[in-house]
Structure 1
Amino acid sequence: MKKTYAIISDIHGNLQALLAVMKDIKTREIETIINLGDHFYGPMEPEGVAEIIRENPMICISGNTDRAILESLERDGMKSHKPEMERVKGELQARSIEWLKTLPNTTTIDDVFFACHGTPESDNEYLLELVNDKGVFVYNDDDLIEKTKSIKERIILCGHSHVNRLVYLTNNKIILNPGSVGLPAYLGSEKYQYRFAMESMTPHAKYAIVKVDGEHVNIEQINVAYDWNRASSVARSNGNNNWAQFLLTGRMPKDLRVD
């Protein structure tokens, strides 16, 4: 089998970033797109993103924020404590919400890829990154082999951390995180007792290209320039100054720096 795939993840409602990535994918004439979830949540343009996804066939799975949107809608009108959640729910059309309900948590593609958002078992855990009170670290080879031992496909796709990483395991498997299309950094703390930073270090919209030719696999991590100043202005106009800064730099602002 000889085939080329575009791998995208974590759009988070960033319409301008998605448009730039889709244009780049089309320029390269890549027909198969695999989308690892977290489509709409954030202070951006969720329904605009939904329209682009409808117009461009792709293989999609659910992410943790996709699940969170549906769970929030199911809570009988109770408002979320997150302003972004209420705005996203209000902007998404009914057909976009119904589409979210159809997404699987994981999938396999062409007997080559296993796709998950976080880990095979959880959409809200990191596959590649170990987070502790000392910071963010990449798991070692033995740990990653153990974490993926139930997966028979050679290439394991994950998102969630928003940091583009490629790890080649000694058992000949490959783990690929394409990075985030729409949010190049964020501050994490919700599940943990401490704050931590996920930073890609650039404001570019990120995705990956995988070319499979039998046993040969070529992978490119792509960084697409787009109007991140415009995207930042959208986030700020919707009341989220932190996201506005993340979009401009791919780093933590000084006042949010995790020591």
Structure 2
Amino acid sequence: MRLAVLSDIHGNLAALEAVIADFRARGVERALDLGDLLSGPLQARETADRLIGLGWPTIAGNHERQVLNDPPERMSASDRHAAGELRADQRDWLRSLPPSLRLDDEVLLVHGTPASDLECFLETVDAGGMRAASAAEVARRAGADPARLILCGHTHVPRAVRLDDGRLIVNPGSVGLQAYAGEHPHPHRVENGTPQARYAIVERDARGWHAQLLQVDYDWGAAAALARRNGREDWARALLTGRV
């Protein structure tokens, strides 16, 4: 079994199309989406239509919850932009997305961790910023879940960690945004350092699950220009450089 795993598209339709073309060229037809689909100053409405048409197994991230439930005055600029673009039918689709999803008792999809769409799985954020989580921290967050493959997103950092019991935890990174400044639970920065779209291909063979973390070129200059036209110079820089 081979699956493409995508997360954190954030309305970057050009990056999404490049990733789709890449995994199809590699002979992969099935894809999974881990949420944070639309929030950002790019193409929320168009990205929603594309994802609805694809019909992939998809879960909601924290930004879906925020776009649907937060009052405008509490929303971030990225959430407000997306909320202002969405049609009623697109909002209904977002409401239909589960916060987690289990496939065949083998694969678990979460956005953050099984406990929270805001908690980092493979990273830890403390007063010093963000760092790679220890094996003990990752194991604690995985708990006793029986899934042999746990897929997570949220941090935009591509990483795979195998636990001592053989379970594999994979974050495919972000399709749509390679750097940002976060505030929860402490101020921190995420910087992947290059602008390529990220995703993963996971495969199960006789030895178990394995992951390939991939980067894909796309027209990030055009995406940055759109962000700039929509008043987001911070996004433009992140899209162009992978840095805050």
- The TM-score bracket by the shorter chain reads over 0.9
**Corresponding residue of 1:248:** 240
Whichever residue aligns with residue 71 of structure 1, its letter is N
Whichever residue aligns with residue 135 of structure 1, its letter is G
Contact 2:8 2:175 in 1 (8 A): yes
Contact 2:63 2:79 in 1 (8 A): no
**Corresponding residue of 1:257:** none
Moved more, 63-72 or 19-28: 19-28
**Corresponding residue of 1:256:** none
Structure 2 residue runs of 5 or longer lacking an equivalent are none
The structure 1 segments of at least 4 consecutive aligned residues displaced by more than 6 Å after TM superposition are none
Q: For 1:127 and 1:81, how far apart are their aligned partners in 2?
A: 24
Q: For 2:105 and 2:143, how far apart are their aligned partners in 1?
A: 16
Matched, 1:100 2:94: yes
**Corresponding residue of 1:53:** 51
Q: For 1:165 and 1:62, how far apart are their aligned partners in 2?
A: 20
Contact 2:101 2:109 in 1 (8 A): yes
Q: For 2:156 and 2:103, how far apart are their aligned partners in 1?
A: 22
CA deviations 1:8-42 (Å, max 9, x no partner) are 00000011101111111222232211100000101
The alignment covers a number of residue pairs equal to: 244
Matched, 1:213 2:198: no
Change (3 A) 1:109 1:239: same
**Pairwise CA distance, 1:83:** 3.4
* Partner SS, residue 170 of structure 2: strand
Query: Which residue of the other structure, out of 152, 159, 179, is the alignment partner of 2:153?
Result: 159
Q: For 1:62 and 1:123, how far apart are their aligned partners in 2?
A: 9
Change (3 A) 1:188 1:105: same
Matched, 1:109 2:103: yes
**Pairwise CA distance, 1:135:** 2.5
Q: For 2:16 and 2:199, how far apart are their aligned partners in 1?
A: 10
**Corresponding residue of 1:28:** 26
Contact 1:155 1:174 in 2 (8 A): yes
Change (3 A) 1:149 1:225: same
CA deviations 1:101-144 (Å, max 9, x no partner) are 01111111122211100010100110111111222212211222
Contact 1:33 1:57 in 2 (8 A): no
Contact 2:179 2:192 in 1 (8 A): yes
Structure exhibiting the larger radius of gyration computed from Cα positions: 1
Q: For 1:79 and 1:187, how far apart are their aligned partners in 2?
A: 20
* Partner SS, residue 60 of structure 1: coil
**Corresponding residue of 1:181:** 175
Identity %: 39
Contact 2:6 2:175 in 1 (8 A): yes
1:1-259 equivalences in 2 (<5 Å): 3-72=1-70, 75=71, 78-80=72-74, 82-192=76-186, 195-252=187-244
**Pairwise CA distance, 1:5:** 0.3
Contact 1:178 1:207 in 2 (8 A): yes
TM-score (structure 2 length as normaliser):
0.95
Query: RMSD of the alignment, in Å?
Result: 1.4
* Partner SS, residue 157 of structure 2: coil
Whichever residue aligns with residue 198 of structure 1, its letter is V
Change (3 A) 1:51 1:151: same
